[in-house]
Structure 1
Amino acid sequence: MVDFGDKLACFQAITGVEDPDLCTEILAAHGWDLELAVSAFTASNPAPSLSNPNDNDNHSNNNHQNNVGSSHQSSFDDWEGVQESGFTRHESQPLSESPAAGSPPGFAWKIITLPFSVISGSLGLISGAVGLGVWIAGGVLSHSLGLLGWNSGREGGASSPMVSLSAAASEALNFVAAFERDYGTNHPNFVSEGFMDALQRSRQAFKLLFVYLHSPDHPDTPSFCEQSLCSEVVTSFLNENFVSWGGNIRASEGFKMSNSLKASRFPFCAVVMSASNQRIALLQQIEGMISPEEMLTILQRVAEESAPVLVTARLDAEERRNNMRLREEQDAAYRAALEADQARERQRKEEQERLEREAAEGERKRKEEEEAQERAAREAAEREAVLARRRQEKAMSLGVEPEKGPNVTQVLVRFPNGERKERRFHNIATIQSVYDYVDSLDCLNSEKYSLVSNFPRVVYSPENRSLSLKDAGLHPQASLFVEVVDS
């Protein structure tokens, strides 16, 4: 059963509204859907900013307020070591104000000195604590609602209690598709991945991360997107100098980022960067309707102020890579020297073994050659004996050569070496008889050959050897060539 008391307590903890009756009415109006109630409350009733409470007058008198925040860390030396964590927020400062007399301090000065002013001022401490608390509360709330079965999706299906990488990327893809459907393709190049992956991308590219939280129900959203965010100058500057990420506050990750960044007014944009010790520095907030010229001015200022930090981070990363490459080269040189010594020792042993093997192999080969020669001589003698016996058998099978006459065929046989042999056959003798005649001669070393007539060319293959010379058209005389068949 749904515990309305827990939902009421969670809603009070997130929104800061102490009146339980008012909270109950808001939750009931949204069907006790906690995320929808919190999102609607933050969109229609801006919560107090984490900046100085006296700045509320600025919210009511201006269409937007630009808040500059920085990390609690004293340096950004660990730019590449950040992972998912909370946001660090500090006192906000309008662009028109100067932090001290004289020329405004640079971005690096704010990073180094701002923690001391936060330590000495209670508002800064409260802002940092509340910012971290909201981030943690968002994760705990999502996990708790998932365990209780309350965190059902807007479409009626159950959603995961914690946003996985694939779910975050899916939300990002859906946001980009919906944004292009409503405002066209001329917009900042929003990455189609989750916030932490986008932050990782910006860190690797040594760029700032531009965050846009989209409130589709806010009346100023269409004008802001069409006139400011999608203007050519703003889009070009963002695509060149920033990594851009966008999220719909109606989606899970966009809702969480809205709470973490304390988005009290919409349209809402922010510029963040990775800080050291797994923290994220909030550098700039842009809340409310703003012209493209004002937005470009703010983005240019933030980019200029952060340039020294990014350049330093890039140089540090290159130095680390160079040092790592140097260590790898030194290690490789040491390993190469060690391997060379080991290779020389192995080579000495292998050379000794090789000489021993060669001596044994030489003796073995000598014996094998002697045996091969003896075997070849024996086989040659056997082949010669077989051929001689065959020639004798073929000559005997031919019988006596007939005398010339009308029924006698004169056959001339030409061998590949140019030698010629001639014999008479009865015209009823078969072509096989001619083959037997060739076999009886000591003119051909190959056993595979064919008898061929030249004009017309006819190859007398084994299929037609049973034909008589007369039937084969070789009577009364014929000239045949011996063609050796390749084996």
Structure 2
Amino acid sequence: MDDSQDDLTSEQTEKLLQFQDLTGIDQIQRCRQILEGHDWNIEAAVQDTFNEQEGAPTVFHQPASLPEERAPLVNLQPSNQRVIMYPGQRPQGIFQWTYYLLSMPIKFVWSTLFDIIRVFVNFLRPDPRRIVTDPLRDVMTFISNFDAKYGQNHPAFYQGTYSQALNDAKKELRFLLVYLHCDEHQNTDQFCRDIVCSQVFRNYVNGHLLFWACNTSSPEGYSVSQALKEHAYPFLALIVLRDNKMSVVARIEGRITSALELVARLEQVIAENESSLVAARADRAERSFNQTLRQQQDEAYLESLKADQEKEKRKREERERKEEEERRQCLAEEEKQRQYLQREQRKSEIQQQMPPEPDVSHPDSIRIMLKTPNGKRIERRFLRDQSIKWLYYYVFCHQDCPDDFQIKTSYPSKTLPCEPSDYCSEPPTFADMGLGKSEMLYVFDNEA
């Protein structure tokens, strides 16, 4: 699938594929342009495509309110321009020659007088054709009048302004055939009926050219007439992109009597200028390739930049994680040190508060032997009526005992409630706990 479909909805993509299947147009971008020009109305797009191939008018008209495109500059006299002039019909026989010679002075006087009057009138009242207000309507009016007068068996007229036709021909790298229609000219009817509506001309134009036409009596037609500066009617101009500029490569003027001859002339001019389109296509292909290459390089650079940024982000996050871990460890170490200092200070205070150890001969003294978690044995004497909190404090301050511990009897095994707390600041005495003259107790590490 072409990259041009990336921004399409699923419905538009389905219409695009259906349109391509119905019309047989290979270029997917061309199919999309046609559908977009018809507001994605597939029925109208298909009908107009078939009408264009058959030479019938289209059924879809773009809104007249669309802004006028700026016409590209046109080289009116490029090098190797073909100028094909067809002379008017010559008199035949003595009668026609006599009539021609006698009427020629009258025609000259009348033409001169008419030109003088026209100049005077134009001086007093400017030609309204010089003011182009709605060029698209001028074109559509001409097409409608042409169909009504000559029928619809003609090449598909380009339904847009002259500027739009030039821009499309330049964009699509196609030849543009311009026809300026003059109602007053004596050769116009014969040209329209015998040439424009002929099957030979219709088939050739529909298959090879964009065909734009307008009446010179309308502002749009008059404007194009002033730009192309035709000298005789019927008038045809073949325009194509050459040397990066739209150029009039052929001017065909005068009384054209043979559709076959006209087609042959067009084929000859197209063959002579086809190389310019080939070069333009190659140039566009190269620019498109370079643009695609730059885009791919930019995408690769952005991907690399994104990968580097992601890598740097991971490094930064890892660095921040380590810093946070170190900070937590530092805080934990500081907290541990603070607690250690608090315990040491408390031990120092407790040691100062500890009652002296009674003498062995004291009648109320009891001997407490303790087995520490590291297997050592320690002992101390206490008085029977002293609180067992002093036993707790003794173990708490001893260097061979843990900071968080329990003291249990051997048999039956029970834990002595010797640690002071908010609920019991003064634990029971040794006598209350039923401890004898000599007891063996065990110290258990709560963190072991």
Indicate the structure whose relative CO is greater, using CA pairs within 8 Å and at least 6 residues apart: 1
Pick the TM interval, shorter chain.
Answer: 0.3 to 0.5
TM-score by length of 2: 0.44
Rg comparison, structure with higher value = 2
TM (norm. structure 1) is 0.41
